Amino acid sequence: MPKRVLDGEGFWGSRKLRRCPVWIRREYPYLYPLADCNGNFELDIPVILGKLKANRPDLSIRKLGLVFETFKKEGLAFVWAVARRQYIHWTRSERRGRLPRLSRRSNKYERKLAPPLPLEEYKAYLHTFGETLDASASDGLALATAKATAKATDRATEKTTPPASPAFRALTDWLIKTFQETIGKKPTWRKKDFIALALLKKENSNLTDNEIKIRFVSFLDSNTTWLQGWQLWKFCKDFDSFIEGPVIRPPTQQEIAEKDAAVGRGPR
């Protein structure tokens, strides 16, 4: 559940809030904590009403809808839609000190309740009230939006990856079998590994499956790749490293000493 600290000075002296009817003003402190770490939440009135009903028994769906319409009209709440769902951003909640610092705005600390804020639409909304987005706030929102968009794009890419062709499936079957025979266990590859392989082939149209197999054997024979768990995406990322064979890292002094101790030799 989001935990927001209300800026008393901010809403006590708010001219926008003052333009709202008195009974609507009273709902603002109850509704403000609905927002997530970016100041956003979904405008699902029945769900919101369920959260408030215990302490606001006189509220109804009609009244709550009117509250949000008034907030939108007076410049307190920016509303946008994605996939037939509506979301709200509390205007000016992005000002310094009103939201968690940018490094804390992630799902690790708090679940996000809305998709990325459309910055250009938000700026246009503020402009209708003669306001502009602060430069520092704009940078923070842009970075938060970019991160959220990148994650959403990655998830969409995985979901929309086309089915593998028989030739591609034959190649991956060979890679899995070779891995198992060489390492002695099944690989723990995931969808992103196979996407990386598909992109490698797509971006190198002249690359043959035989060349991929040759370099994959070199990848498995390298003494550094176990550090990454022999992940297929890592092989694709460092594909050119194995053009001349396995990548062999010279042993460290500690490794030499451990090897000598294992065969009963003293240190040199």
pLDDT in tens, 215-251: 998 888 887 655 556 788 888 988 888 888 887 766 6
Task: Please list, residue by residue across 117-154, b when 16 or more beta carbons sit within 10 angstroms of its beta carbon and e when fewer do.
Answer: bbeeebeebbeeeeeebeeebeebbeebbeebeeeeee
**Cβ-Cβ contacts under 8 Å for 65 (sequence gap 6 or more):** 45
Measured CA distances, 206 to 165, 200, 211, 212, 238 (Å) = 17, 11, 10, 11, 18
Do β-strands 40-42 and 77-82 pair in parallel, antiparallel, or remain unpaired? unpaired
The pLDDT value given to residue 243: 83
Closest residue by Cα to residue 189 from 146, 153, 229, 227 = 229
Q: How buried is 212 (Cβ within 10 angstroms: 0-12 exposed, 13-18 middle, 19+ buried)?
A: buried
Q: How buried is 113 (Cβ within 10 angstroms: 0-12 exposed, 13-18 middle, 19+ buried)?
A: middle
The pLDDT value given to residue 161: 47
Distance (Å, rounded) from C-alpha 211 to C-alpha 182? 18
The pLDDT value given to residue 156: 47
Ranges assigned E (strand) in 56-102? 77-82, 85-90
The pLDDT value given to residue 157: 47
Task: Please list, residue by residue across 77-110, b when 16 or more beta carbons sit within 10 angstroms of its beta carbon and e when fewer do.
Answer: bbebeeeeeebbbbbbbbbeebbbeeeebbeeeb
pTM beyond 0.85: no
The pLDDT value given to residue 72: 95
**Cβ-Cβ contacts under 8 Å for 258 (sequence gap 6 or more):** none
> If DSSP states are collapsed to H, E and C, what string results for 36-68?
CCCCEEECCHHHHHHHHCCCCCCCCHHHHHHHH
The pLDDT value given to residue 146: 43
Residue with tokens 């403000």: 32
Q: Are 204 and 212 a contacting pair, CB within 8 Å?
A: no
Q: Are 144 and 104 a contacting pair, CB within 8 Å?
A: no
Tokens standing for 60? 């109804």
The pLDDT value given to residue 44: 94
DSSP H or E run through 227: none
Average pLDDT of each block of 10 consecutive residues along the chain (268 residues)?
63 86 92 86 94 91 95 94 92 73 62 85 90 61 47 48 74 92 87 90 88 90 66 88 78 65 54
